[in-house]
Amino acid sequence: MDIARFRRELEGQFPGGDLYSAPLDSRFDRVIEQVEGMSSTHSLTLLNIAARCLGENEWYLEVGSYRGRSLVGATLDHAHGRFAAIESFREFVDQHPDVSHEIVLRTLASWGVDSRVRFLRGDAFRLLPRGAVPGPVGVYFYDGAHTRLAQWLALAVAEPWLADEALVVIDDTSWPQVDRSTRHYVGGHAGYELIYDLAADQDGNARWRDGVKVYAWRRPKTWRPPSGWPLAWRRFAHLRVHEPALAFAWRTVPRFPRLATAVKRVYFNDSRVSPSGDRSAR
């Protein structure tokens, strides 16, 4: 991953290098209008430029695709087919995962990018350790489950697959639990340099939505893959407790609207940037 080039091209897309101003490239306005989702034109600009700066044989990996908006934005006008995405659809308890999956596949096909994307349905914390991506990951965009467990695991399970130099992009970092868990992980693992902290001052900010952090990752000479008890107990808790609970929820909750509201309130606890936003409608 050419990190220096990424920074030049990203800042060159905003007047005066101000990443809070409107991006000069208007291609993504059409994506925002036509594909349901929460990504802004700012985020799509960032992801698209990041994908353009991949090294030879490096992959773009996205975990958490919702309706496919960010994936379309990242792949738009790129000829290479080194894009991978993992989505379980388990977070969206108001819609059956099969329906959500079909929506994403139709979206990718309608934009003509389906042949460039290796789309995997499942839990990233199961699939990544099994080699879900065929090559080194030069860009890693995480917008999956935002529990404290998941945020820590999101970095731990992906780190072994990162290229020696890579970008790690974390969404919704103005949510307190996302910010804390991310800082907890990178504070205890060498190789991460925060290059952009694109904060949001309120929920659903029109520029960077609920905040984005971008890290440059450079593999330390003494690097070893994350392992041991800190990883083991978190994987167990997520896969053996959190995942079965969500599986039960999407089978049960849609039949009980009041229960759905309560589940969302608990799940999105501590996920507000400010009191003005409604995080129950992700």
Q: Which of 141, 170, 31 is nearest to 83 (CA)?
A: 141
Q: 190, 164 in Cβ contact below 8 A?
A: no
Q: Which residue has the tokens 């693992």?
A: 189
Q: What is the mean pLDDT of residues 18-25?
A: 94
Structural domains of the chain, ranges and CATH numbers in brackets: 3-267 (3.40.50.150)
Residue 265 Cα distances to 245, 246, 278, 279, angstroms: 15, 14, 10, 8
Q: What is the mean pLDDT of residues 68-96?
A: 88
- For the record, the structure tokens of 99 come out as 């329906």
- For the record, the structure tokens of 38 come out as 């929460």
Enumerate the β-bridge partners of residue 192: 217
Burial class (CB in 10 A: 0-12, 13-18, 19+), 122: middle
Q: Which of 168, 180, 108 is nearest to 143 (CA)?
A: 168
Q: What is the mean pLDDT of residues 106-111?
A: 96
Total count of residues recorded for the chain: 282
Q: Which residue has the tokens 């992700």?
A: 282
Write the secondary structure of 70-82 as one string of H (helix), E (strand) and C (coil).
Answer: HHHHHHCCCCCCC
The residue among 80 and 282 whose pLDDT is bigger is 80
Confidence of residue 124 (pLDDT cuts 50, 70, 90): very high
Residue by residue, DSSP assigns 197-239 as EE--SSTTBTTTBT-EEEEEEE--TT-----SHHHHHHHHHII
In 122-204, which residue ranges form alpha helices assigned H by DSSP? Answer: 124-127, 148-158, 176-187
% of the chain at pLDDT higher than 90:
70
Q: What is the mean pLDDT of residues 207-213?
A: 93
Confidence of residue 245 (pLDDT cuts 50, 70, 90): confident
> How far apart, in whole angstroms, are the C-alpha atoms of residue 156 and residue 153?
5
Q: Which residue has the tokens 């695709």?
A: 65
> How far apart, in whole angstroms, are the C-alpha atoms of residue 191 and residue 221?
10
> How far apart, in whole angstroms, are the C-alpha atoms of residue 44 and residue 112?
17
pLDDT score of 282 more than 70: no
Q: 118, 83 in Cβ contact below 8 A?
A: yes
Q: What is the mean pLDDT of residues 102-111?
A: 96
> Looking at residue 222, what is its pLDDT?
95
In 19-175, which residue ranges form alpha helices assigned H by DSSP? Answer: 28-34, 41-52, 69-75, 97-110, 124-127, 148-158
Q: What is the mean pLDDT of the chain?
A: 88
